[in-house]
Amino acid sequence: MEKVIVFDTTLRDGEQAAGASLNFQEKLEIAKQLDKLGVDVIEAGFPMSSPGDFEAVCLIARELRRPTICALASANVEAIDKAWEAVKEAEHPRIHVFISASDIHLAHQLKKSRDEILKMAQEMVARAKNYLDDVEFSPMDASRADPAYIYQILEAVIKAGATTVNIPDTVGYATPQEFGALIQGILDNVPNIDKAVVSVHCHDDLGLAVANSLEAVRVGARQIECTINGIGERAGNASLEEIVMALKTRQDIFNLTTSIDTTQIYRTSRLVSELTGFPIQPNKAIVGANAFRHQSGIHQDGVLKKAITYEIIDPKSVGIPSSALVLSKLSGRHAFKERLSELGYTLSEEALNRAFQGFKKLADKKKEITDRDIESLIAEELRTITEVYHLDHVEVSCGDHSLPTATVRLIGPNGQSLADAALGTGPVDAVYKAINRIVGIPNKLTEFTVKSVTEGIDAIGEVLIRIESEGVTYTGRGASTDIIVASAKAYMNALNRLLASKAGKKGES
């Protein structure tokens, strides 16, 4: 079977999703997991967009040796040079040059003629080619451009040295029939198309990103650009897990393969959800909580008799653990470590010790520990990596005939103990006001969401919040069997991200 190249842009286009903000460590953590997943190309960022993005691309390029590390660059000299600086230490570097190609963009955004754009595209691809062999080019908004002009610009950039030509449905406008026809037209009408890989990058504004991508590979495209959980600009991108499993499950239709280790899909999905702060909808294909759950009696009967009656995918093939209840307060460190390994987690000895202590504390409160409980514990460990302030103690007093009061103690940057108290309209409001009195960073709470991690009255509660400071949004998550404590942890997580971002900007200046 022919292979489809999987190009993951979670760290570039995925991070452009409103509210998603990742620091260096989080980007590297995701990049390492994408490496385990087996993606062929990691688009690590847009180096010209910010000093932070530049440093993150540099770090990933130095650390990862197997996959191609790609940097995005607009069609100008400074952006191309910056992209090369960012990826030059990669074992397999790539520069991805883009410029608008639709008349809508040319007239209203760039205010340039087709001839000017064609010349810029040629010159900037040639400049990138002077640095390295692997150059990708994208004519932005190709699905709304004149196909004849797309043929012309692709022929020119391939002559200039492009080895991959990517066709973006930038605003998610195309339907599968239209998009397939565009790809077929490119294959039929670009004379030198055999010298480049044809790629596609589809957005999900009409919910057709995956369908458009699959139709493109059916007619001959051999690279798909996608993101974990489909996150990205506006309604998001084509979902990696849906594309990969569609190709694998329907080999009778596509007769194509990928290099993806599908057993790493669930773990990767959970990591990206945790670090970006975007929860996965329960009915999300492949990785949603309900993707392999059956409520209908007819369905349950069929699955019990033969799973294939209502399950076209074996849950274990995407890394969803087969067992649900495996640990209790009697379980030892070795059993805990083994379960972590089965779930796809590898921790340092120090991190493992902290996680195990957290597990023991939780086991004293819950009779049965589920995989989701364990994942929540590990997420808690990941969240503590970049702490500036550590939540040490929370105590609240509230009721329908009393003033909600909160006392909070934090451990500061130099190890000092900092405590304060505050009144609020409710216990969470009081906790947040007390924390604000200590930390002293102006911000606005824009989102507050509570959900149960597992079933039962003793379930872990998970809180997701977003705060805004100086026009930038920061996400925080916290989990605990006590929802007030979970709320405090989530707020501290968001504040620590805010503080780390400010420290990074101060260092850059």
| pLDDT tens digit sequence for 25-52 | 889 999 999 999 999 999 999 999 988 8
Specify the amino acid at residue 54. Answer: F
Confidence check: pLDDT of 299 > 60: no
Class of domain 2-276: alpha beta
Mean predicted confidence (pLDDT) in 222-238: 96
Contact 43, 50 (CB under 8 A): no
What pLDDT does residue 347 have? 77
Local confidence band at 324 (pLDDT 50, 70, 90 cut-offs)? very low
Model confidence pLDDT, tens digit, residues 138-196: 999 999 999 999 999 999 999 999 999 999 999 999 999 999 999 999 999 999 999 99
Q: Is the pLDDT of residue 323 over 60?
A: no
State the pLDDT at residue 508. Answer: 52
d(CA 207, CA 285): 13
Residue 317 has pLDDT above 70, yes or no: yes
Q: What angle do CA 74, 104, 111 make, to 5 degrees?
A: 60
Who has greater pLDDT, 323 or 57? 57
- The two three-digit tokens of residue 226, written as one number: 């996608």
pLDDT tens digits along 362-391: 778 776 777 777 877 777 666 555 688 999
Q: What fold characterizes domain 390-508?
A: Double Stranded RNA Binding Domain (3.30.160)
> Which pLDDT does position 291 carry in this prediction?
80
Percent of the chain with pLDDT over 70: 92
Residues 49, 396: Cα–Cα separation, whole Å: 44
Q: Please give the sequence-ordered ranges of beta strands (E in DSSP) within 245-397, or none if there are none.
A: 256-257, 325-327, 369-370, 390-397
Comparing C-alpha atoms, which of 145, 132, 142 is closest to residue 221? Answer: 142
Work out the pLDDT band at 361, boundaries 50, 70, 90: confident
Judged by average pLDDT, the poorest of 57-61, 88-92, 179-183, 267-271 is 267-271
Cα-to-chain-centroid distance, residue 234? 14
For residue 379, give the nearest of 341, 412, 347, 333 by alpha carbon: 347
Buried/exposed code over 388-412 (b: 16+ C-beta within 10 A; e: otherwise)? bbebeebebeeeeeeebbbbbbbbe
pLDDT score recorded for residue 401: 84
Structure tokens at 291: 């993707």
What share of the chain has pLDDT > 90, as a percent?
Answer: 63
Dihedral sign for Cα atoms in the order 357, 363, 366, 370: positive
- For residues 411 and 415, what is the distance between their CA atoms, to the nearest angstrom? 6
User: By mean pLDDT, which of 217-221, 361-365, 433-437, 489-493 is the weakest?
Assistant: 361-365
In this structure, of 97-106, 413-422, 481-490, 494-503, the range with the lowest mean pLDDT score is: 494-503
Mean pLDDT of the chain: 89
The full set of domain ranges for the chain reads 2-276, 290-320, 323-383, 390-508
Quote the pTM value: 0.81
| 3-state secondary structure (DSSP) of residue 332 | coil
Count of C-beta atoms within a 10 Å radius of residue 95: 28
**Could you tell me the pLDDT band of residue 474, with boundaries at 50, 70 and 90?**
confident
Reported as a single tens digit per residue, the pLDDT across 235-269 is: 999 999 999 999 999 999 999 999 999 999 999 99
Angle between the 209-219 and 176-189 helix axes, to the nearest 10 degrees?
Answer: 30
For residue 507, pLDDT over 60 is answered with no
* Model pLDDT, residue 295: 55
Average pLDDT over residues 388-402: 92
Residue 95's pLDDT band (cuts 50, 70, 90): very high
Residue with the bigger pLDDT between 351 and 161: it is 161
